[in-house]
Amino acid sequence: MIVLFTDFGWQDPYVGQLKAVLAEAAPGVAVIDLLHAVPDFNAHAGAHLLAALVQAFPAGSVFLCVVDPGVGSPRQALVVAADGRWFVGPDNGLISVVAARAQEARYWRIDWRPEQLSASFHGRDLFAPIAAGIAMGPFPDDKLSSVAAPEVSFDPTDLARIVYLDHYGNAWTGIRGVLLGEVDAIELKGQHLGRRSAFHEAAKGEAFWYVNSVGLVEVAVNRGNAAAQLGLKVGDPVRLTSPQGGLH
């Protein structure tokens, strides 16, 4: 299974061109569009989203990850093996959080370059052929060099900021719910929000937070739009409130 994780957007012809390469180079392999709406150019938010989203995918999945504002610059190209899953993309931190949190991670630099390499679309020209090669096997050793670590790494601890706004207006944070323990309130844009276990437990129009289906703290409004109601945007900071009322 090849899984796409990009900021290409759905409406543009970028995803289709990339899939045409995969269809030729990895015929019969399932291709899953996981997310093409990583906040534009935002490898940092993307790194935390990716780390949360991959957990449900089977070993052997190949993630083609492209949030690449430095395309065409000397930034390196990377392959990562982390807990049995594969990741291919730019060495700009995007893959670093999922790798740092894994029990086991290995890294390779992509040395190979295609005959025709555009200056602006390495997703299609460089990363897709490598991802297809890994999915089809054998592992393309001849195109890669083992390295000890990526060149760019983000802090892998939880990110207490909004990292994604979905189309309902729900706001995902980079905080994993499993680590929260006794925390029962969060502060966001000056408002304290209580915890609910599911949407129907909140009154219609009430803002709350819960641990969402990929394990992240998410701010939502029951049958409403939290982003609009609270004026949220990606990057807004979130504070956790302990039961004693203190703030972390």
To the nearest whole angstrom, how small is the minimum distance from the Cβ of residue 143 to a second copy?
21
**Of 3 and 78, which has the nearer Cβ to a second copy?**
3
Distance of closest approach, residue 190 Cβ to a second copy, in angstroms:
26
Quick one: which segment of 48-56, 93-101, 127-135, 236-244 binds a second copy (CB under 8 A)? 48-56
Q: Which is nearer to a second copy, 66 or 144 (CB)?
A: 66
- Sole window of 103-111, 149-157, 208-216, 234-242 interacting with a second copy (rule: CB under 8 A): 208-216
Q: For residue 120, give every residue at least 6 positions away whose Cβ sits within 8 Å of its Cβ, in sequence order, or none.
A: 71, 72
Closer residue to a second copy (CB): 49 or 144: 49
Q: Which of 11, 104, 142, 178 binds a second copy (CB under 8 A)?
A: 11
* Segment lying near a second copy (by CB under 8 A), choices 78-86, 87-95, 148-156, 160-168: 160-168
Distance of closest approach, residue 27 Cβ to a second copy, in angstroms = 7
Decide: is 114 part of the binding site for a second copy (CB under 8 A): no
- Stretch of residues binding a second copy (CB under 8 A), selected from 24-32, 137-145, 151-159, 180-188: 24-32
How distant, in Å, are the alpha carbons of 51, 82, 135, 232 from that of 62? 14, 11, 6, 33
What DSSP letter does each residue of the chain carry, written as one string? -EEEEESS-SSSTHHHHHHHHHHHHSTT--EEEEES-SPTT-HHHHHHHHHHHGGGSPTT-EEEEE--TTTTSS--EEEEEETTEEEEEESSSTTHHHHHHSSSEEEEEE----SS--SS-HIIIIIHHHHHHHHHSS--GGGEEEESS-S-----S-EEEEEEE-TT--EEEEEEGGG-TT--EEEETTEEEEB-SSGGGSPTT-EEEEE-TTSEEEEEETTS-HHHHHT--TT-BEEEE-TTS-B-
Binding of residue 12 to a second copy (CB under 8 A): yes
Tell me the closest approach of the beta carbon of residue 22 to a second copy, in angstroms. 9
Measured from the CB atom, is 5 or 108 closer to a second copy?
A: 5
Q: Which of 43, 47, 51, 53 binds a second copy (CB under 8 A)?
A: 53
User: Is 213 an interacting residue with respect to a second copy (CB under 8 A)?
Assistant: yes
